[in-house]
Amino acid sequence: MRTSQHENIALITGANAGIGLELTRKLLSENWQVVALNRSDFSADVEIQKEIKNGSLRIYKTKDLADYVSLRRVLEEIKGTEQRIDILFNNAGRSFNELSYSKQGRESHYELMAVVPYIIVMELKGLLQNGHFKTVINTSSAAIQFAKEFTIETLERPRTFRKLLGPYATSKLALSLWTGAIAPQLAKDGIQIRSVDPGGNNTLRKGRKSGLPIFIEALMKFFYSPPTHGAGQLYEGALGKHRNETGVFLLKGRVTGLKFSDQAREVLERVQTIYEQEFLS
C-alpha cells in the first residue's frame, strides 16, 4: 500500500456509483488517496482498477450499511488498517420505492441516511483527529425544504409514504439537523462538519427502481446535470469558501437555514442514544 504523509486521504461511502464515483475520480485525479466504503464492487474501468492496484483506492465492503453487524465489522477493519482520514464524505444514500424498515426496526431512509452517518462519524472520529483537514461532509438534499411535518416518531415509523418528499426528505433533514447540533461538540476535538446539497444530478441506475416520482424521473433523464456536478458541490463544500465554517447546511454553495431547527438537539440525542444503546452493545 502506497502511503505518504504528504498525501491527503478521503473516506467516501457509496464511492462506486453516481456522485460518489465521480467524487472518487476527482480526488484520485488530484493525487488524493480514497478509502471507499461500499456495498458492491467498482466497475472494470481501467483507471479505477489501476488506482486499486497501486493502493491509492482502497475498498472496504459491507453487505448493508444499515446492518449493524456488518457495519461494525467493516468499521473495525478500517480502524485497524488506516492511519488517518483527512475528509470523511458520508455520501451513501438511496431513495426507496416503498415503505420499508431496517433490521433494527426503523424506517429505511432514516436508518441509512441519518442514523448510520452518525455512527460512522463517532466510530472514525479518532482517524479524523489524526487527519489534516479534520472535516466531515454529510450529503443532504434540497428536498428538505419541502418537509411539512417533522417529528422523531414519524421519522422512525412514518404513518404514510410519499416518494422523495416523504421519508427521504425528512431523513435528509434529520441528517442536516444533527450536523448542526453536533458541531460545537466536534469542534472541541478540532473537527469541522457540514451538510451539503449536491444539487440535481442524473443518478438513475438501470435495473433499480429509483423511488422517485415519475415526473422527477423524466426531468432527471433529460434536464439534470451528470453526477460530476454533485461531486463538485461536495468537493467545494469540503474545501471551498466555507471550509472554515462548521455546523452549516450549504445549498447551491450558500449557507442556508433549516426548517424545524428547534428539534435539532432532540434529533442529535436520539441518534446518539441509538448509537450507544444499539450499535455499541
Per-residue confidence of the chain (281 residues) as pLDDT tens digits?
444 555 899 999 999 999 999 999 999 999 999 999 999 999 888 999 999 999 999 999 999 999 999 999 999 999 999 999 999 999 999 999 999 999 999 999 999 999 999 999 999 999 999 999 999 999 999 999 999 999 999 999 999 999 989 999 999 999 999 999 999 999 999 999 999 999 988 776 665 666 777 667 767 776 777 899 999 999 999 999 999 999 999 999 999 999 999 999 999 999 999 999 999 98
Domain layout of the chain by residue ranges: 9-279
Residue 40 CB contacts under 8 Å (≥ 6 apart), including other chains: 16, 61
Residue 159 makes CB contacts below 8 A (sequence gap 6+) with none
In terms of CATH architecture, what is 9-279? 3-Layer(aba) Sandwich (3.40)
Does residue 260 contact residue 177 with C-beta atoms inside 8 Å? yes
Are 166 and 138 within 8 A, CB to CB?
Answer: no
List the one residue out of 278, 117, 104 whose CA is nearest residue 194.
117
pTM of the model: 0.93
Cell 423511488, located at residue: 211
